[in-house]
Structure 1
Amino acid sequence: MKIYRTLYYIPVITSWVAGSLIWKIVLNPQFGVLNNILNFIGLQGPGWLYDQSWAMPGIVLASIWKDVGFFGLILFSGLRGISPTYYEAAKIDGANSWQRFKNITLPLISPTLLFVIIISLINSFQLFPQVMIMTQGGPNGATQVMVERIYKYAFQYYKMGYASAFSWLLFIIVFVVTLVQMKLQKRWVHYES
Protein backbone atom coordinates (compact mmCIF):
# COMPACT_ATOMS: atom_id res chain seq x y z
CA MET A 1 0.00 0.00 0.00
CA LYS A 2 2.89 2.35 0.77
CA ILE A 3 4.31 2.04 -2.76
CA TYR A 4 1.00 3.19 -4.26
CA ARG A 5 1.09 6.38 -2.19
CA THR A 6 4.65 7.01 -3.37
CA LEU A 7 3.73 6.37 -7.01
CA TYR A 8 0.86 8.86 -6.70
CA TYR A 9 3.28 11.75 -6.07
CA ILE A 10 5.67 10.99 -8.96
CA PRO A 11 3.55 12.67 -11.71
CA VAL A 12 2.94 15.71 -9.47
CA ILE A 13 6.64 16.19 -8.74
CA THR A 14 7.53 15.50 -12.36
CA SER A 15 5.13 18.20 -13.57
CA TRP A 16 6.67 20.73 -11.17
CA VAL A 17 10.15 19.88 -12.38
CA ALA A 18 9.19 19.86 -16.05
CA GLY A 19 7.29 23.15 -15.77
CA SER A 20 10.19 24.78 -13.94
CA LEU A 21 12.68 23.61 -16.57
CA ILE A 22 10.47 24.94 -19.35
CA TRP A 23 10.14 28.33 -17.66
CA LYS A 24 13.89 28.45 -16.99
CA ILE A 25 14.36 28.24 -20.76
CA VAL A 26 11.51 30.66 -21.53
CA LEU A 27 12.94 33.27 -19.14
CA ASN A 28 16.55 32.95 -20.30
CA PRO A 29 17.81 36.50 -21.00
CA GLN A 30 19.86 35.53 -24.08
CA PHE A 31 17.74 33.04 -26.03
CA GLY A 32 14.51 32.86 -24.04
CA VAL A 33 11.18 33.05 -25.83
CA LEU A 34 9.82 35.87 -23.68
CA ASN A 35 12.80 38.18 -24.24
CA ASN A 36 12.73 37.40 -27.97
CA ILE A 37 9.07 38.46 -28.10
CA LEU A 38 9.90 41.63 -26.18
CA ASN A 39 12.82 42.36 -28.54
CA PHE A 40 10.53 41.85 -31.53
CA ILE A 41 8.16 44.47 -30.11
CA GLY A 42 11.11 46.79 -29.53
CA LEU A 43 11.50 46.42 -25.77
CA GLN A 44 14.65 45.35 -23.97
CA GLY A 45 13.87 42.25 -21.91
CA PRO A 46 15.17 41.99 -18.33
CA GLY A 47 17.59 39.41 -16.98
CA TRP A 48 14.64 37.59 -15.36
CA LEU A 49 16.20 34.85 -13.23
CA TYR A 50 19.62 36.56 -13.05
CA ASP A 51 18.41 39.98 -11.88
CA GLN A 52 17.47 40.53 -8.21
CA SER A 53 14.44 42.63 -9.00
CA TRP A 54 13.07 40.30 -11.72
CA ALA A 55 13.86 36.84 -10.32
CA MET A 56 10.86 36.54 -7.99
CA PRO A 57 8.36 37.90 -10.57
CA GLY A 58 9.70 35.27 -12.99
CA ILE A 59 9.13 32.50 -10.45
CA VAL A 60 5.66 33.86 -9.65
CA LEU A 61 4.84 33.87 -13.37
CA ALA A 62 5.90 30.23 -13.67
CA SER A 63 3.90 29.28 -10.57
CA ILE A 64 0.76 31.00 -11.84
CA TRP A 65 1.14 29.24 -15.18
CA LYS A 66 1.48 25.90 -13.36
CA ASP A 67 -1.68 26.40 -11.29
CA VAL A 68 -4.01 28.18 -13.71
CA GLY A 69 -5.29 24.98 -15.34
CA PHE A 70 -6.08 23.30 -12.02
CA PHE A 71 -7.90 26.32 -10.61
CA GLY A 72 -9.64 26.97 -13.93
CA LEU A 73 -11.01 23.43 -13.90
CA ILE A 74 -12.27 23.82 -10.33
CA LEU A 75 -13.93 27.16 -11.12
CA PHE A 76 -15.45 25.70 -14.29
CA SER A 77 -16.97 22.83 -12.32
CA GLY A 78 -18.32 25.34 -9.81
CA LEU A 79 -19.95 27.29 -12.62
CA ARG A 80 -21.43 24.11 -14.08
CA GLY A 81 -23.04 23.41 -10.69
CA ILE A 82 -25.23 26.52 -10.90
CA SER A 83 -28.72 25.66 -12.05
CA PRO A 84 -29.85 27.47 -15.22
CA THR A 85 -33.26 28.09 -13.66
CA TYR A 86 -31.76 30.92 -11.61
CA TYR A 87 -30.66 32.71 -14.77
CA GLU A 88 -34.01 32.11 -16.49
CA ALA A 89 -35.87 33.58 -13.54
CA ALA A 90 -33.54 36.59 -13.47
CA LYS A 91 -34.04 37.18 -17.22
CA ILE A 92 -37.80 37.08 -16.73
CA ASP A 93 -37.45 39.63 -13.92
CA GLY A 94 -35.47 41.88 -16.28
CA ALA A 95 -31.95 41.52 -14.85
CA ASN A 96 -29.11 42.42 -17.21
CA SER A 97 -25.90 40.38 -17.52
CA TRP A 98 -24.03 42.36 -14.83
CA GLN A 99 -26.90 41.95 -12.37
CA ARG A 100 -27.07 38.21 -13.10
CA PHE A 101 -23.33 37.91 -12.51
CA LYS A 102 -23.36 40.00 -9.31
CA ASN A 103 -26.51 38.53 -7.78
CA ILE A 104 -26.47 34.91 -9.01
CA THR A 105 -23.10 33.74 -10.29
CA LEU A 106 -20.83 35.36 -7.71
CA PRO A 107 -22.79 34.29 -4.61
CA LEU A 108 -23.30 30.74 -5.87
CA ILE A 109 -19.66 30.28 -6.86
CA SER A 110 -18.33 31.85 -3.64
CA PRO A 111 -17.69 28.47 -1.88
CA THR A 112 -15.60 27.41 -4.87
CA LEU A 113 -13.77 30.75 -4.82
CA LEU A 114 -13.02 30.28 -1.11
CA PHE A 115 -11.56 26.85 -1.82
CA VAL A 116 -9.40 28.21 -4.66
CA ILE A 117 -8.16 31.12 -2.53
CA ILE A 118 -7.23 28.89 0.40
CA ILE A 119 -5.48 26.30 -1.76
CA SER A 120 -3.58 28.96 -3.74
CA LEU A 121 -2.43 30.65 -0.53
CA ILE A 122 -1.20 27.34 0.87
CA ASN A 123 0.55 26.60 -2.45
CA SER A 124 2.22 30.02 -2.43
CA PHE A 125 3.60 29.45 1.07
CA GLN A 126 4.93 26.06 0.00
CA LEU A 127 6.71 27.29 -3.12
CA PHE A 128 9.79 25.10 -3.48
CA PRO A 129 10.43 23.22 -6.74
CA GLN A 130 10.33 26.34 -8.90
CA VAL A 131 12.85 28.13 -6.66
CA MET A 132 15.26 25.20 -6.42
CA ILE A 133 15.21 24.39 -10.12
CA MET A 134 15.11 27.91 -11.53
CA THR A 135 17.35 29.93 -9.17
CA GLN A 136 18.45 27.84 -6.13
CA GLY A 137 17.43 30.81 -3.96
CA GLY A 138 19.56 33.36 -5.84
CA PRO A 139 20.53 35.83 -7.15
CA ASN A 140 21.89 37.09 -3.81
CA GLY A 141 19.01 35.48 -1.92
CA ALA A 142 16.31 37.36 -3.85
CA THR A 143 14.17 34.24 -4.27
CA GLN A 144 14.65 32.61 -0.89
CA VAL A 145 11.40 31.18 0.43
CA MET A 146 10.56 29.38 3.65
CA VAL A 147 10.49 25.81 2.27
CA GLU A 148 13.79 26.35 0.47
CA ARG A 149 15.31 27.54 3.74
CA ILE A 150 13.92 24.47 5.54
CA TYR A 151 15.47 22.25 2.86
CA LYS A 152 18.88 23.94 3.13
CA TYR A 153 18.98 23.80 6.93
CA ALA A 154 17.93 20.15 6.95
CA PHE A 155 19.85 18.64 4.05
CA GLN A 156 22.77 20.96 3.34
CA TYR A 157 23.72 22.32 6.78
CA TYR A 158 22.38 19.29 8.73
CA LYS A 159 20.81 21.55 11.36
CA MET A 160 17.60 19.65 11.94
CA GLY A 161 16.58 21.81 14.90
CA TYR A 162 16.52 24.95 12.74
CA ALA A 163 14.69 23.09 9.97
CA SER A 164 12.12 21.84 12.47
CA ALA A 165 11.65 25.33 13.91
CA PHE A 166 11.15 26.81 10.44
CA SER A 167 8.70 24.00 9.62
CA TRP A 168 6.64 24.80 12.72
CA LEU A 169 6.76 28.49 11.87
CA LEU A 170 5.52 27.74 8.36
CA PHE A 171 2.74 25.57 9.78
CA ILE A 172 1.65 28.34 12.16
CA ILE A 173 1.65 30.95 9.39
CA VAL A 174 -0.40 28.77 7.03
CA PHE A 175 -2.77 27.82 9.87
CA VAL A 176 -3.34 31.44 10.90
CA VAL A 177 -3.90 32.61 7.31
CA THR A 178 -6.34 29.76 6.69
CA LEU A 179 -8.11 30.48 9.97
CA VAL A 180 -8.49 34.16 9.02
CA GLN A 181 -9.92 33.14 5.65
CA MET A 182 -12.38 30.79 7.33
CA LYS A 183 -13.49 33.56 9.73
CA LEU A 184 -13.87 36.07 6.89
CA GLN A 185 -15.92 33.65 4.80
CA LYS A 186 -19.04 34.54 6.79
CA ARG A 187 -19.03 37.95 5.11
CA TRP A 188 -18.89 36.87 1.49
CA VAL A 189 -19.42 33.11 1.07
CA HIS A 190 -23.03 32.05 0.48
CA TYR A 191 -23.95 28.40 0.72
CA GLU A 192 -27.10 27.15 -1.02
CA SER A 193 -29.83 26.02 1.32
Structure 2
Amino acid sequence: MVTSWIAVALVWRWLLNPSNGVVNTLLGMVGIDGPGWWTDPAWAMPSIIIASAWKDLGFVMVILLAGLQAIDPALVDAAKVDGAGPWRRLFSVTLPLLSPSTFFVVVISLINGFQVFDQVYAMTGGGPAGASQVVVQQIYDLTFRYGKAGEASALSWLLFLVVLAVTVVQVRGQRRWVTYG
Protein backbone atom coordinates (compact mmCIF):
# COMPACT_ATOMS: atom_id res chain seq x y z
CA MET A 1 0.00 0.00 0.00
CA VAL A 2 2.86 2.40 0.74
CA THR A 3 4.78 1.60 -2.43
CA SER A 4 4.50 4.12 -5.26
CA TRP A 5 2.42 3.18 -8.29
CA ILE A 6 5.37 3.65 -10.63
CA ALA A 7 7.50 1.16 -8.68
CA VAL A 8 4.66 -1.36 -8.53
CA ALA A 9 3.89 -0.94 -12.24
CA LEU A 10 7.54 -1.46 -13.22
CA VAL A 11 7.80 -4.60 -11.08
CA TRP A 12 4.59 -6.00 -12.61
CA ARG A 13 5.81 -5.06 -16.09
CA TRP A 14 8.92 -7.12 -15.37
CA LEU A 15 6.91 -10.01 -13.86
CA LEU A 16 4.53 -10.09 -16.84
CA ASN A 17 7.20 -9.66 -19.52
CA PRO A 18 6.03 -11.90 -22.39
CA SER A 19 9.50 -13.15 -23.35
CA ASN A 20 11.34 -13.61 -20.06
CA GLY A 21 8.95 -12.64 -17.27
CA VAL A 22 8.60 -14.71 -14.14
CA VAL A 23 4.89 -15.45 -14.69
CA ASN A 24 5.34 -16.77 -18.24
CA THR A 25 8.41 -18.73 -17.16
CA LEU A 26 6.38 -20.44 -14.42
CA LEU A 27 3.51 -21.07 -16.82
CA GLY A 28 5.99 -22.56 -19.31
CA MET A 29 7.25 -24.98 -16.64
CA VAL A 30 3.78 -26.51 -16.44
CA GLY A 31 3.34 -26.58 -20.22
CA ILE A 32 1.21 -23.47 -20.67
CA ASP A 33 2.14 -20.83 -23.23
CA GLY A 34 1.84 -17.52 -21.43
CA PRO A 35 0.01 -14.64 -23.10
CA GLY A 36 1.58 -11.44 -24.33
CA TRP A 37 0.36 -9.63 -21.19
CA TRP A 38 1.07 -5.93 -21.74
CA THR A 39 2.10 -6.37 -25.40
CA ASP A 40 -1.11 -8.09 -26.54
CA PRO A 41 -4.19 -5.86 -26.95
CA ALA A 42 -6.41 -8.58 -25.46
CA TRP A 43 -4.22 -8.91 -22.34
CA ALA A 44 -3.04 -5.32 -21.77
CA MET A 45 -5.95 -4.22 -19.59
CA PRO A 46 -6.16 -7.52 -17.64
CA SER A 47 -2.45 -7.18 -16.78
CA ILE A 48 -3.10 -3.68 -15.42
CA ILE A 49 -6.12 -4.96 -13.48
CA ILE A 50 -4.01 -7.73 -11.91
CA ALA A 51 -1.35 -5.24 -10.80
CA SER A 52 -3.99 -2.82 -9.49
CA ALA A 53 -5.82 -5.52 -7.57
CA TRP A 54 -2.56 -6.67 -5.99
CA LYS A 55 -1.60 -3.13 -4.97
CA ASP A 56 -5.03 -2.31 -3.49
CA LEU A 57 -5.38 -5.63 -1.65
CA GLY A 58 -3.56 -4.35 1.45
CA PHE A 59 -5.85 -1.32 1.79
CA VAL A 60 -8.97 -3.44 1.34
CA MET A 61 -7.78 -6.02 3.87
CA VAL A 62 -7.02 -3.36 6.52
CA ILE A 63 -10.48 -1.80 6.14
CA LEU A 64 -12.26 -5.17 6.25
CA LEU A 65 -10.16 -6.30 9.22
CA ALA A 66 -11.16 -3.14 11.07
CA GLY A 67 -14.78 -3.89 10.21
CA LEU A 68 -14.44 -7.45 11.50
CA GLN A 69 -12.86 -6.26 14.74
CA ALA A 70 -15.73 -3.81 15.26
CA ILE A 71 -18.30 -6.62 15.30
CA ASP A 72 -19.48 -7.21 18.86
CA PRO A 73 -18.53 -10.77 19.85
CA ALA A 74 -21.69 -10.93 21.97
CA LEU A 75 -23.76 -10.94 18.77
CA VAL A 76 -21.84 -13.93 17.41
CA ASP A 77 -22.17 -15.68 20.78
CA ALA A 78 -25.92 -15.00 20.82
CA ALA A 79 -26.22 -16.56 17.37
CA LYS A 80 -24.33 -19.62 18.64
CA VAL A 81 -26.69 -19.89 21.62
CA ASP A 82 -29.64 -19.70 19.23
CA GLY A 83 -28.22 -22.68 17.38
CA ALA A 84 -26.81 -20.95 14.30
CA GLY A 85 -24.06 -22.90 12.59
CA PRO A 86 -20.93 -21.34 11.12
CA TRP A 87 -22.54 -20.58 7.74
CA ARG A 88 -25.68 -19.09 9.28
CA ARG A 89 -23.53 -16.89 11.57
CA LEU A 90 -21.51 -15.78 8.54
CA PHE A 91 -24.53 -14.83 6.44
CA SER A 92 -26.82 -13.57 9.23
CA VAL A 93 -24.39 -11.81 11.57
CA THR A 94 -20.89 -11.26 10.19
CA LEU A 95 -21.59 -10.18 6.60
CA PRO A 96 -24.48 -7.82 7.46
CA LEU A 97 -22.39 -6.15 10.17
CA LEU A 98 -19.41 -5.98 7.80
CA SER A 99 -21.51 -4.27 5.13
CA PRO A 100 -20.58 -0.67 6.10
CA SER A 101 -16.89 -1.52 5.62
CA THR A 102 -17.68 -3.34 2.40
CA PHE A 103 -19.67 -0.35 1.17
CA PHE A 104 -16.76 1.99 1.91
CA VAL A 105 -14.30 -0.27 0.09
CA VAL A 106 -16.58 -0.58 -2.95
CA VAL A 107 -17.10 3.20 -3.21
CA ILE A 108 -13.42 4.04 -2.80
CA SER A 109 -12.35 1.28 -5.19
CA LEU A 110 -14.74 2.42 -7.91
CA ILE A 111 -13.63 6.02 -7.56
CA ASN A 112 -10.00 4.91 -7.77
CA GLY A 113 -10.85 2.77 -10.78
CA PHE A 114 -12.13 5.80 -12.65
CA GLN A 115 -8.94 7.70 -11.80
CA VAL A 116 -6.44 5.08 -12.98
CA PHE A 117 -3.44 6.64 -14.65
CA ASP A 118 -0.03 5.90 -13.13
CA GLN A 119 -0.05 2.14 -13.62
CA VAL A 120 -1.37 2.41 -17.17
CA TYR A 121 1.19 5.04 -18.09
CA ALA A 122 4.08 3.03 -16.60
CA MET A 123 3.02 -0.45 -17.77
CA THR A 124 1.64 0.10 -21.26
CA GLY A 125 1.55 3.82 -22.02
CA GLY A 126 -2.02 3.29 -23.22
CA GLY A 127 -1.00 0.70 -25.78
CA PRO A 128 -0.74 -1.58 -27.52
CA ALA A 129 -2.89 0.05 -30.18
CA GLY A 130 -4.81 2.01 -27.51
CA ALA A 131 -6.09 -1.17 -25.84
CA SER A 132 -5.36 0.15 -22.36
CA GLN A 133 -6.16 3.82 -22.94
CA VAL A 134 -8.11 5.27 -20.01
CA VAL A 135 -9.93 8.59 -19.54
CA VAL A 136 -7.30 10.17 -17.29
CA GLN A 137 -4.62 9.35 -19.85
CA GLN A 138 -6.73 11.00 -22.54
CA ILE A 139 -6.96 14.09 -20.33
CA TYR A 140 -3.17 13.98 -19.90
CA ASP A 141 -2.57 13.56 -23.64
CA LEU A 142 -4.99 16.36 -24.56
CA THR A 143 -3.28 18.72 -22.14
CA PHE A 144 0.42 17.93 -22.49
CA ARG A 145 0.79 16.31 -25.91
CA TYR A 146 -1.71 18.23 -27.97
CA GLY A 147 -2.03 21.48 -26.00
CA LYS A 148 -5.83 21.28 -25.89
CA ALA A 149 -6.37 22.29 -22.28
CA GLY A 150 -9.98 23.33 -22.91
CA GLU A 151 -10.94 19.90 -24.22
CA ALA A 152 -9.02 18.28 -21.37
CA SER A 153 -10.88 20.45 -18.88
CA ALA A 154 -14.23 19.49 -20.40
CA LEU A 155 -13.30 15.82 -20.27
CA SER A 156 -12.21 16.27 -16.63
CA TRP A 157 -15.61 17.73 -15.78
CA LEU A 158 -17.31 14.86 -17.58
CA LEU A 159 -15.23 12.37 -15.58
CA PHE A 160 -16.17 14.21 -12.39
CA LEU A 161 -19.86 14.03 -13.25
CA VAL A 162 -19.66 10.30 -14.05
CA VAL A 163 -17.84 9.57 -10.76
CA LEU A 164 -20.36 11.72 -8.89
CA ALA A 165 -23.30 9.93 -10.52
CA VAL A 166 -21.89 6.48 -9.76
CA THR A 167 -21.20 7.51 -6.16
CA VAL A 168 -24.71 8.94 -5.71
CA VAL A 169 -26.23 5.73 -7.09
CA GLN A 170 -24.12 3.71 -4.65
CA VAL A 171 -25.02 5.90 -1.68
CA ARG A 172 -28.73 5.63 -2.50
CA GLY A 173 -28.46 1.89 -3.14
CA GLN A 174 -26.64 1.23 0.11
CA ARG A 175 -29.88 1.72 2.01
CA ARG A 176 -30.96 -1.70 0.74
CA TRP A 177 -27.92 -3.74 1.70
CA VAL A 178 -25.86 -1.90 4.31
CA THR A 179 -26.72 -2.71 7.92
CA TYR A 180 -25.62 -0.24 10.59
CA GLY A 181 -25.97 -1.74 13.90
Kindly report structure 1 stretches of 4+ aligned residues shifted beyond 4 Å: none
The equivalent residue for 2:13 is: 24
Q: Which residue of 2 aligns with 1:3?
A: none
Q: Does 1:75 align with 2:64?
A: yes
**Where do 5+ consecutive residues of structure 1 fail to align?**
1-10
The one of 131, 137, 154 equivalent to 1:148 is 137
**Count of paired positions:** 181
Q: Percent identity?
A: 54
CA distance in 2, matches of 1:89, 1:126: 43
1:1-193, aligned counterparts within 5 Å? 15-192=4-181
Partner in structure 2 of residue 7 of structure 1? none
Q: Which runs of 5+ in 2 are unaligned?
A: none
- Mapped partners of 1:170, 1:63: distance in 2: 20
What is the distance in 2 between the residues matched to 1:104 and 1:153? 50
TM-score (norm. length: structure 2): 0.98
SS at match of 2:4: helix
The Cα of 1:72 is off from its aligned counterpart by 0.6
Q: Could you say which residue in structure 2 is the equivalent of 1:4?
A: none
Q: Which has the higher contact order (CA 8 A, sep 6+)?
A: 2
Shift, 1:123, TM fit: 0.7
TM-score (norm 1): 0.92
Partner of 1:6: none
Distance across 2 between alignment mates of 1:66 and 1:154: 28
